[in-house]
Amino acid sequence: MTEPLLRMSGVRAYYDGVEALHGIDITVDTGEVVVVLGANGAGKTTTLRSICQLTTTTGEIRFDGDLISGASTSSIVRRGIAMVPQGRGTLGDLSVEDNLLAGAVTRRDKGVAGDIASWYETFPRLAQRRHQTAGSLSGGEQQMLAIARALMLRPRLLLMDEPSLGLAPVIVRDLFDVLARINRERGVAIVLVEQNAVLALDIAQRGYVLEAGNLVLSASADQLRQDDAVRLAYLGN
């Protein structure tokens, strides 16, 4: 078996010395969409923050075979892991165009202008508002900008934290179409933390269920959809 793109082994995470993750093992293969389910406070966001080393962790995290636990967030991002945090993570005072440029601020190649043009093609709404500040965009537009900005990094792994939060249902459906298409066309692996389990499982191949900082279930998306406990807790039937 080849080495997965991301491998977390026995990862524990701490906030001010209090353990929030109690040793979890997660793998993500190249080009795969993996969903992380769990109740509020189960440690979903902490899992994503651990990957980017935004919290203190112990245990081993490897990206593409290289040890990244203990590295700085900026060096991890430069390796090709982009995260869209809860609340979008766009820079409200900067224009839409500057946000996209900022997404590529660590890149040294000549393709940045071309990438921005292609995102404007994908989201014409962003092109119209390119000189407006990101803070003046609506929630849906900001989420689109956040995704485009994250992909300006040309990452191999995209971490999405609750992208549907605060968006109208029709926009959420569209958002997941976009994510599925990014995964299919660009081969970007995605780790998706999401309350909307129905839609998330639709585009995911595999999933994990977290409970109070422990991993309680790891299965394919189909198996998760059939699982009684998951159906009861996250699918509402």
Partner 1 sequence: MGTVLSQAVSGGQADLDVVAARRRRARLRAVLVVIVLLAAFSVWAVIDGGAQLYLQRFFDGITNGLLYGLAALSLVIVFKATGIINFAQGPMAMLGCYLALTVLEMWPMPVLLAIVIAMVVSGLGGAVLERVLIRPFDPDNHMAIIIVTLALFLGFNALAALVWGFRPLSFPSPFPQGTADAIEIAGARLSYQAIGTALLVVGAVVVLELVLNRTRLGLSFRCVANDVANSRLLGIDIGRTVQFSWALAAAVGTLGACLIAPSTYVDPGFMNKILVYAFAAATLGGLDSIRGALAGGLLTGLSVSLVTGYLPGVGSELGLVVGFAMIIAVLQFKPAGLFGNRAMERV
Interface residue list for partner 1 (CB under 8 A): 52, 54, 72-75, 77-78, 82-83, 85, 89-94, 98, 101-103, 105-106, 122-125, 135-141, 144, 149, 153, 168, 170-171, 173-175, 177-178, 181
CB 171 to partner 1: min, Å: 5
83/215 with CB nearer partner 1? 83
14/123 with CB nearer partner 1? 123
106/226 with CB nearer partner 1? 106
CB 22 to partner 1: min, Å: 25
Among candidate residues 198, 193, 199, 201, the one with its CA nearest the CA of residue 237: 198
Backbone φ and ψ for 192, nearest 5 degrees, come out as: -115, 115
CB 10 to partner 1: min, Å: 25
CA distance 149 to 139: 15
Which 3 state secondary structure label does DSSP give 107?
coil
4/103 with CB nearer partner 1? 103
Residues sharing a CB contact under 8 Å with residue 59, sequence separation 6 or more, in sequence order? 8, 9, 10, 11, 12, 23, 69
